[in-house]
Chains A and B, each alone.
Chain A
Amino acid sequence: AQSVAQPEDQVNVAEGNPLTVKCTYSVSGNPYLFWYVQYPNRGLQFLLKYITGDNLVKGSYGFEAEFNKSQTSFHLKKPSALVSDSALYFCAVRNNFNKFYFGSGTKLNVKP
């Protein structure tokens, strides 16, 4: 079985500070991992993915994520947060049958 866990319901950070949103995964076989962002009453927008290759993946809007196989983690990071980054963030894993399973989401609050 495959699953992802986002241990933090909410993350608060000041504008200009670095941010990290945590994700751990459980999957049999090679992991296919994704991060999405959701603004209120909107669909999810794709940020980045890890399929294979470099452990540090760069994505949209200055976000990046680090794949750590030994810790089974795929944390989302950004060096300098913006107020406009405030949103709901989802980690997801894809299984061998192309089904995607999402974490419970982490609300990011960036304060000016």
Chain B
Amino acid sequence: SQTIHQWPATLVQPVGSPLSLECTVEGTSNPNLYWYRQAAGRGLQLLFYSVGIGQISSEVPQNLSASRPQDRQFILSSKKLLLSDSGFYLCAWGTGAGGELFFGEGSRLTVL
């Protein structure tokens, strides 16, 4: 069966520090991968979308970047965090072809 892992689960970082959140998927190959941010426990904003290694689509201009160095690995990064980067970050994977998304358990980032 397929599983998705995200880490770390929680992170407290000072303004201006770097960020790296990691997501890996097991039990499937060539998944579509997604990073979402959820602010204040409500709506989800699509940040990045990837259909394959090295193929990243950015949805909104921001202080973050994403990379996909391996087929089932998706990394969210920042060189210098802002206060506004605080939030709950969710990684998800899907197969396409009408299928649903499967979400990880999320990473809560607090920037102080």
Binding site for B on A (CB under 8 A): 32, 34, 36, 40-46, 49, 51, 88, 90, 92, 94, 98-105
Contacts of A90 in B (CB 8 A): 44
Contacts of B92 in A (CB 8 A): 43-44, 100
How distant is the Cα of A7 from the Cα of B42 in the complex, in angstroms? 13
A-B CB pair tally, cutoff 8 Å: 58
- Of the residues B43, B51, B101, B104, contact of A100 by C-beta under 8 Å: B101
Grouping DSSP codes into helix (H, G, I), strand (E, B) and loop, the A interface class, with mixed when no group exceeds half, is strand
A-B CB contact pairs (8 Å), 5 listed? A34-B101, A43-B6, A99-B46, A99-B49, A105-B43
Whether the Cβ atoms of B46 and A41 lie closer than 8 Å is no
Which residue of the partner chain A has the closest CB to B90?
A43
- Of the residues B44, B51, B106, B108, contact of A98 by C-beta under 8 Å: B51
Which residue of the partner chain A has the closest CB to B49?
A99
User: B74: CB under 8 A from chain A?
Assistant: no
Binding site for A on B (CB under 8 A): 6, 32, 34, 36, 41-44, 46, 49, 51, 57, 59, 88, 90, 92, 94, 96, 98, 100-106, 108
- Of the residues B42, B88, B90, contact of A105 by C-beta under 8 Å: B42
Name the distance in Å between A86's Cβ and chain B's nearest Cβ: 14
Known A-B contacts A51-B98, A99-B49, A100-B34; the reply to A45 vs B42 at CB < 8 A is no
Contacts of A99 in B (CB 8 A): 46, 49, 57, 59
Name the distance in Å between B108's Cβ and chain A's nearest Cβ: 7
